[in-house]
Structure 1
């Protein structure tokens, strides 16, 4: 049996719940009140539970939604910026994404421990990075052949070292170093 598509108002409720919950989980972690999430999203708590029957279901949906937003940002940034600036912008968003997930770490552990989910998420992130690297290589601003997985692992290291809110400037400097390493030879900025 296939699921019926959500009505526009239900889809809007779900989107608001996901957006509000992402901010709340990043801010308050596991102490986030689902009742407060529902209220801030402008819906009743029954609506929240109709969409997300458990706290874990909401956390997983928020994570999946945020990964989708991050991955979709690659194409959006390429449309708005040049390839090198799009890559930088995406890397900055990745660091912010990972820092925001810190508050959800305990609740996300079962999702992140699932090999299938981890591999699926990594594949999506690698594809977004590959899109940016390929566009940069085609424009002559990124070295051809840079491995998207290497860049993803380097970004993971940046977030481990400087993913906390008070270390944001360090994260930006580390992104600068990473970008310098992938730039095409002869480019200075």
Structure 2
């Protein structure tokens, strides 16, 4: 949360998995507060529509994201007019790398992508032998079930993202 009470979120995309039928791209919106995945979309291309769908999925699950700040790199899908129109439509404020090539601006998201690639397909499965649909199910389950609800995160004090979120809101209730 920022000082105005808006949820600050981080968006990352650009993760691709090479499957039997081609490359599958993953786009996710991660919450900077608890590292939870708030929105997710998977497609065979890396265009602005993928990012728009991720945003729509996050807003469907978390309507309170309207008015938030969303951070991304300067990829063409994030600076496209269709994407920028969608974030403006929901009152979301866009933050991008200050200048091109500053990897530290998106380091948190890139770190999460590395964990996904290490923990899921490359250590346990041969993604190159999987169909796109098999990859979609695998990645969807990993991020929205395992990552959000069971995977412990050291940044959360050893709690999963959704457990940290529940504890935060419970503490707000006690303080009120």
Query: Normalising by structure 1, what TM-score?
Result: 0.26
**Over alpha carbons, which structure has the higher Rg?**
1
Would you tell me which structure has more strand in proportion to its own residues?
2
Would you tell me which structure has more helix in proportion to its own residues?
1
Query: Normalising by structure 2, what TM-score?
Result: 0.28
